[in-house]
Amino acid sequence: MRNCKLTPCVLVALLLVGVLHLEAAMATDFTYGEALDKSLMFFEAQRSGKLPSDQRVKWRGDSGLTDGLAQGVNLVGGYYDAGDHVKFGLPMAFTVTMLSWGAIEFRKEITDLAQMGQTLWAIRWGTDYFMKAHPQPNVLWGQVGDGDSDHYCWERPEDMTTPRTAYKIDENHPGSDLAGETAAALASAAIAFQPYNSSYSALLLVHAKQLFTFADRFRGLYDESIGSAKNFYTSSGYSDELLWAAAWLYQATNEEYYLKYVVDNAVYMGGTGWAVKEFSWDNKYAGVQILLSKVLLEGKGGAYTSTLKQYQAKADYFGCACLQKNEGYNVHKTPGGLLYVREWNNLQYVTSASFLLAVYSEYLSAANAKLTCPEGQIQPQELLNFAKSQADYILGKNPKSMSYIVGFGSKYPVHVHHRGASIPAVSVLQSLVGCVQGFETWYHRPEANPNVIYGALVGGPDQNDNFSDDRSSYEETEPTLSGSGPLIGLFSKLQSTPIKFIHSISNTWSIGKMTYYRHKVILKNTSQKPVTDVKLMIENLQGPLWGLSPTTEKNTYELLQWQKVLQPASECTFVYIQGGPQAKISILSYH
């Protein structure tokens, strides 16, 4: 192991201080692999139906075992949406698409973390349900349970007394958005499963193709057919879902028909017209634009190259808006640096955007391309750096020093707005807990939830970084499927980044009223391959620095000449001194 000893820095510190006070090292990187594992556990907590013997979340039991019975269809299974017990088809399908995209794009990373089995199970718990909900080519059951009646009750899923009415879309009651998103979920899942279970993959693809045809031929908004969904998951349109489904079917089949569809409908359906600053269960345009940019960047555009370039221009707009490099047309950020899109459950928009940026970084890097912004060209690594900053905020690097993923870190929400987590398990409290009793005894109690719902991503802080850990503050403390879906791919990618930082304060001293800190930063190559040409961006640096060479670019540094190559498991150390907050250090590029 090679380590650059920086004796001059130590001497300077000695001259300044005289007596050095050693402080404990404070690591600023997170264990993303642990966050990934806990996030997968959240999906187990949200399971509806007959639970398997290897269920890790032991406070949950079987539930919803008669779903669909009154309508003559088997709708047992799937996921509960959030802190309630409704199975909403649109956000559930988007969640499965995000899980599948993560498994496709970061297959090696998830496999290296020994989490591919759990990831595929999380996907399959959704896709098995979707195929049962699609008994005929032009019929899709899109919801079980009624949001209004469900929200009047506070009870465990095992005790449910609320109506389990099922709702469907068909030729006379269309829902192109719901059918399109479900087609995208099944098509992406088909790609994810193909290396492991080709027959299951083929079955998923049959359903995906049928659902796309249904969505395209019988057009309409799903919440006009399933009216009870309107107050909870109102759809803004279905054109984006039709493009989204076609784009995923092209990825799954390589059939030109689907690529031609997104090109022929690019203008009419808004694919090359809408420049967006949001990616969510409702708005898929940014996802479409980045997924189609992959086709272009891989050199597979052919006769469609011109239109695909227009899609990529809009993909760049989204990336630039997130990075605050879009000439003022940017996504709003909190003072603490978090993207802020909506008051209710804002973190779901943060995770989806961060995942999308990580994926786009992969596509651009593979093509040796850059992000084109009004304020200049941006290296792909900066997209990943920004995604990391958002993930780090979620995990605890924020003004509240709180992890917004339950069970991760030492400080996290304990009054989560979640029925099952807030009432003791049936094995502990065997008597039935009714609607009103649940509110009176468990919802309003000041104590922490009796069950820790590991991996639940709560709604998160407000636009000023304030957070209320209160069960009644559902905008901030309720977890959702769609918020957690993108995290599996994102955390696996961040855990796999070959260079890890260990940032610590090794000494401190005061001169007059000013306190100075000696910051020690260790760069470690955690991969099994040599890393070369490392470039770092160091912002807010106010004092001297030792152990790196400045470049001609502003705030950009590289390793010393004799340390251009970081061998596997090797480290390099640099030191800087300054008063006030630590400098912001990020990886700009490497090979």
Strand partners for 166? 144
Q: Is residue 209 part of a domain?
A: yes
Task: Render each residue's pLDDT in the chain as its tens digit; 591 residues.
Answer: 333 333 333 333 332 333 223 222 233 468 899 999 999 999 999 999 999 999 999 999 999 999 999 999 999 999 999 999 999 999 999 999 999 999 999 999 999 899 999 999 999 999 999 999 999 999 999 999 998 888 899 999 999 999 999 999 999 999 999 999 999 999 999 999 999 999 999 999 999 999 999 999 999 999 999 999 999 999 999 999 999 999 999 999 999 999 999 999 999 999 999 999 999 999 999 999 999 999 999 999 999 999 999 999 999 999 999 999 999 899 999 999 999 999 999 999 999 999 999 999 999 999 999 999 998 999 999 999 999 999 999 999 999 999 999 999 999 999 999 999 999 999 999 999 998 999 999 999 999 999 999 999 999 999 999 999 999 999 999 999 999 999 999 999 999 767 777 888 889 988 888 888 999 999 888 777 788 888 888 988 988 999 999 998 888 898 988 778 888 888 889 999 988 778 878 776 677
Which 8-state DSSP code applies to residue 340?
-
Residue 587 CA to residue 403 CA, distance in Å, equals 24
Q: Give the helix/strand (H/E) hosting 163.
A: none
Q: What is the pLDDT of residue 29?
A: 63
**What CATH number corresponds to the domain at position 180?**
1.50.10.10
User: Is residue 457 domain-resident?
Assistant: no
Backbone angles phi, psi at 526, to 5 degrees: -95, 0
Q: Does 316 lie in the same domain as 167? A: yes
Tell me, yes or no, whether 270 and 345 share the same domain.
Answer: yes
Looking at residue 535, its pLDDT comes to: 83
Please indicate, yes or no, whether residues 179 and 203 belong to a single structural domain of this protein: yes
Q: Which of 435, 466, 492 is the last residue of a domain?
A: 492
Best CA proximity match to 29, nearest among 282, 395, 358 = 395
Given 492, 511, 530, the domain boundary residue is 492
| CA separation for the pair 472, 444 (Å, rounded) | 8
324 within domain boundaries: yes
| Whether residue 226 sits in one domain with residue 164 | yes
Answer yes or no: do 109 and 48 share one domain. Answer: yes
CA angle 291, 297, 303 (to 5 degrees): 90
Question: Is 194 found in the same domain as 142?
Answer: yes
* Residue 478 · residue 542 · CB < 8 Å: no
- Beginning with the edge strand found earlier in the chain, give each strand of the sheet holding 584-589 in spatial order: 548-550, 556-559, 535-539, 584-589
H/E element holding 383? Answer: helix 380-395
Tokens representing 356 are 């999308």
Catalytic residues: 417
Instruction: Please say which residue of 438, 461, 492 terminates a domain.
Output: 492
Residues 196 and 296 in one domain: yes
Angle formed at CA 36 by CA 367 and CA 581, multiple of 5 degrees: 80
Please state whether 587 falls in left (phi above 0), alpha (psi between -120 and 50) or beta.
beta
- pLDDT on residue 26: 33
- Distance (Å, whole) CA 503 – CA 522: 7
Judge if 12 and 52 occupy the same domain: no
Phi/psi of residue 393, each to 5°? -60, -45
Q: What dihedral angle (degrees, nearest 10) is formed by the CA atoms of 125, 53, 458, 234?
A: 30
DSSP state of 95: H
Instruction: Provide CB contacts within 8 A for 279, sequence distance 6+.
Output: 285, 286, 287, 318, 349, 352, 353, 356
Rounded to 5 degrees, φ, ψ at 588 are -90, -45
Upper half-sphere CA count for residue 171 (Cβ side, 13 Å): 4
Q: Tokens representing 62?
A: 């079987």
Which range of residues forms the domain containing residue 578?
7-29+499-589
Is 482 domain-assigned? no
In a domain, 17, yes or no: yes
Tell me the two tokens of residue 215. Answer: 């969505």
- The reply to whether 173 and 25 lie within a common domain is no
Q: Which one-letter DSSP state was computed for residue 187?
A: H
Eight-class DSSP state of 380: H
Residues 20, 83 within the same domain? no
75 plus 209 within the same structural domain: yes
Q: State the SS3 of 109-160.
A: HHHHCCCHHHHHHHHHHHHHHHHHCCCECCEEEEEECCHHHHHCCCCCHHHC
Flag whether 419 is in a domain: no
Amino acid identity of residue 542, one-letter, is: Q
Same domain for 20 and 63? no
In this structure, what CATH number is given to the domain that contains residue 510? 2.60.40.290
Helix axes 305-322, 256-264, angle to 10 degrees: 70
Q: Is residue 345 part of a domain?
A: yes
- Let me know if residue 410 belongs to a domain: no
Give me 141's structure tokens.
């059951």
How many independent structural domains does the chain possess?
A: 2
